[in-house]
Amino acid sequence: MNTFVCGVCGHIYFGDDSPAQCPICHVPRENFSANPDIIKTPADPNNFSEGEKKHIPDITVSKQGDTASVTIDIGEIPHVMTPEHFIAFIDVYLDNKVVFRGTLKPDLAKASLVIPVKLAGAKEIKVVENCNVHGYWMERGEL
């Protein structure tokens, strides 16, 4: 599986090939480029640095039957939200299919979301966030 980036809205698509159209902004395939290294990963997954703690999404899932309330904080140490440096968007995926795009403005007190999701048998949740200065970061969890 590869990662493809939408040149218009910045969405990351997970798949073997780019999508026919962007699931977020609906532009056609030619706007996507393959970039397997675009998402930053922590040097040590068991011991995040301070910079990693400010960017890696912190996910809490509270399941109720076939739905769940998902709380997402960026990050374990709250990331700043200023016009110069902020979390621009948060995309949420179930089994690699995007189910939510949260567009954030620097006016927010912190980069945080609570969303209700339909689990529909999904096995994995994935959250990708984009910092306007530090790029893409991801966290995943079992459902």
The percent of the chain in helix, strand and coil, each rounded to the nearest 5, is: 5, 50, 45
Which tokens is 35 given? 């970039």
DSSP H helical ranges for 48-126: 50-53
Q: Which stretch binds Fe ion (CB under 5 A): 1-9, 62-70, 119-127, 129-137?
A: 129-137
Nearer to Fe ion, 5 or 131 (CB): 131
Q: Is 90 in the site for Fe ion (CB under 5 A)?
A: no
Q: Is 40 in the site for Fe ion (CB under 5 A)?
A: no
Burial 34-45 (b: 16+ CB within 10 A, else e): eeeebbbebeee
Number of residues that bind Fe ion (CB under 5 A): 3
Nearer to Fe ion, 59 or 88 (CB): 88
What is the closest distance, in whole angstroms, from the C-beta atom of residue 54 to Fe ion in the complex? 6
What is the closest distance, in whole angstroms, from the C-beta atom of residue 99 to Fe ion in the complex? 24
Q: Is 134 in the site for Fe ion (CB under 5 A)?
A: yes
Nearer to Fe ion, 32 or 136 (CB): 136
Distances (CA, A) of 126 to 63, 81, 82, 84: 16, 22, 26, 27
Q: Residue 29 phi/psi, 5° resolution?
A: -45, -40
Pair 143, 63: CB distance under 8 Å = yes
Q: Which stretch binds Fe ion (CB under 5 A): 15-23, 26-34, 37-45, 130-138?
A: 130-138
Q: Which of 56, 117, 119, 131 is close enough to bind Fe ion by CB under 5 A?
A: 131
Residues in contact with Fe ion by CB under 5 A are: 131, 133-134
